[in-house]
Amino acid sequence: MSYTSRHKILIVDDAETNVAVIKDYLAKDYDVISANNGNDALELVKTEKPDLILLDVIMPVLDGFKVCKIIKHDYKMDFIPVVMLTALTSKEDHHRGIEVGADDFLKKPVEKFELEKKITSLLRIKDQHDILLKDRNKAYDYLDYVGVLIAVLDTDCRLVHINKKGAELLGYKRNNIINRPWIELFVAHDNIDHVTENYDNLKKGLIKQYEYHEYTIITSTGKQRLYKWYDSILTDENNKIYGIVISGEDITDKKIAEIKLQEYADQLKRSNDLKDLFTDILRHDLLNPAGLVMSFTEFLGETKLDEKQQHMLKNIKTSNLKLIELIESAAHLAKFESMERIELNRVNLASILNDCTNNYLLDMKNKRMSVEFLFKGNYPSLANPVIERVFSNLLSNAIKYSNNDSVIKISIEDLGEKWKVGIVDQGDGIPDKDKNTVFERFKRLHKDNIRGSGIGLAIVKRIVELHNEKVWVADNPEGKGSIFWLTLKKA
């Protein structure tokens, strides 16, 4: 009802004089309609929807008590205030009026002042009721747009309201399931005891509101769907519970997906375990014959061989060393890829880089190469000892792919919370199109005079990733060649 419109009042009395008097009292402030018998009054209630009814008690055919009972109970219009106009003063008459739903009584003949006060008071209550009803309907309308099932149950767990989406999910029309028993009609048989106990405990305060739980419901087609539920209780101004709000989300497909995902994860773990076992066995079985080949080549090297035989023996020895390196690298890569985390300790980057460089002094001497350190002092960092393999692989590549008589430069830059390590070579460089793929396993840029497995940089990337850091390659800013960068946290 709008605040700007006038209230409509229905007067029901078979005495025209009484109707005329009351109309005269009210016409200035209200829209007044009238009926002189009960049947006409009921028709006007349906069509005109008055805001208040002044109802005479003693009338032919249908007396005021019967009319009031029909309006309040049969028409379900209990929110329309009904004032009984009566000359009867006995307690029995008043009790009967209360039983049929009368809101107040006025004794005939009606006094204007008393009539206006009662009407004002009752209309104020009705206006508040209408506002609450309107707000409730707005809330119900809003719930229709929510993508989950939301319903209101009374204290006996009968369905008072359900949103449009909820009815669609259940496969019913709303009007066909309102006032039906929720647990009996919708809850899967093997869940009934659990759900009944859960809602009883919720009303008793033994479990918290909005506490997550799951149970299965049955749709109109007989299908069972698993729902995730959050419940809360409804209380009146006296803190008395009058209902439960339930909110449910269908998680059937999600639960099936989770089960499948867990099964896949278990299979993957078994596969990883088998892969690790296979890698260990494969490494052991391959290194044994490779070791025998190495022993035989060393033994043959001590015998007298002609020039051609020495050349062949050298090739065998070189190929066997490459095979051993490949086996070891593949085993290390498999190990690192199966790891999820590593322990970080305080290390000195300067010491690690110096030690790694010393391991390659002979290789650099053979190519008449030198190394230049562009840093001094200590560089405390958080790293795992396997970081040494990163620097070894990068230095090994720098020596392999650089020309004779070139210089390898190693730098450490301060980035605030991190160190940035750079290793610069003077090789042929890496094309831009290959810079992002060069760290992939078995991805090796073609270079005729150099052989490699393509695993070294994949190991570098994985170890750096285990440190939660980054590694990348760029062109040498000072000319020919490449610079490999990586970051590490400061200690």
Q: What are phi and psi of 372, to 5 degrees?
A: -125, 120
Whether residue 1 lies inside any domain: the answer is no
Confidence (pLDDT) at 299:
77
Indicate whether 365 belongs to any domain: yes
Whether 385 and 481 map to the same domain: the answer is yes
Residue 117 covered by a domain: yes
Which residues lie below 8 Å from residue 480, measured CB to CB, with a gap of 6+?
Answer: 426, 427, 428, 429
* 356 in the same domain as 328: no
2 within a domain of the structure (yes/no): no
- The residue among 190, 193, 161 whose CA lies nearest residue 177 is 161
- Print the domain residue range for 388: 345-489
53 within 8 A of 71, measured Cβ to Cβ: yes
Question: Given 338, 368, 383, which residue is the final one in a domain?
Answer: 338
Same domain, yes or no: 325 and 431: no
**Assigned token pair, 179:** 């006032």
pLDDT at 455: 77
* Whether 155 contacts 241, CB under 8 Å: yes
- Cβ atoms of 486 and 469 within 8 Å: the answer is yes
Residue 288, in any domain of the structure:
yes
Do residue 289 and residue 355 come from a single domain? no
pLDDT score recorded for residue 275: 61
Find out whether 34 and 19 touch, Cβ atoms under 8 Å. yes
Domain end call among 141, 169, 189 = 141
Q: Which residue has the tokens 């208040």?
A: 52
Of the candidates 288, 307, 338, which is a domain's last residue?
A: 338
In a domain, 175, yes or no: yes
Q: Give the per-residue pLDDT at 210.
A: 79
Q: What is the mean pLDDT of each run of 10 residues along the chain (491 residues)?
A: 71 92 92 93 91 91 90 75 82 82 87 90 84 68 68 93 89 91 94 93 87 90 92 88 91 88 77 59 62 76 81 78 67 68 90 92 93 93 90 90 92 94 90 85 48 69 90 89 93 89
Residue 445: its H or E element: none
CATH classification at residue 245: 3.30.450.20
Report the domain count for the chain: 4
Phi, psi of 248 (to 5 degrees): -130, 140
Are residue 150 and residue 187 in the same domain, yes or no? yes
Indicate whether 270 and 241 sit together in one domain: no
Q: What does the block give as tokens for 330?
A: 């593949």
Task: Specify whether 99 is located in the same domain as 167.
Answer: no
Whether residues 413 and 438 fall in one domain: yes
Whether residue 244 sits in one domain with residue 173? yes
CATH number of domain containing 474:
3.30.565.10
- Residue 352 and residue 470 share a domain: yes
- For residue 9, the cross-strand partners are 32, 52
How far apart are the C-alpha atoms of 232 and 209, rounded to whole Å? 5
The C-alpha atoms of residue 157 and residue 196 are separated, in whole angstroms, by 9
Question: What are the structure tokens assigned to 237, written together?
Answer: 């101004």
Q: Which pLDDT does position 449 carry in this prediction? A: 42
CA-closest candidate to residue 428, choices 407, 403, 404, 410? 403
The encoded tokens of residue 486 equal 């990586």
Inside any domain, residue 222: yes
* 181 DSSP 8-state letter: B
- CB burial readout 355-391, b (16+ within 10 A) else e: ebbeebeeebeeeebebeeebeeebebbbbebbbbbb
Same domain, yes or no, for 245 and 260?
no
pTM score: 0.41
Look up the CATH number of the domain holding residue 78: 3.40.50.2300
Instruction: Report whether 237 contacts 212 (CB < 8 A).
Output: no
Looking at the fold, whether 484 and 407 belong to one and the same domain comes out as yes
CATH number of the domain residue 264 falls in: 1.10.287
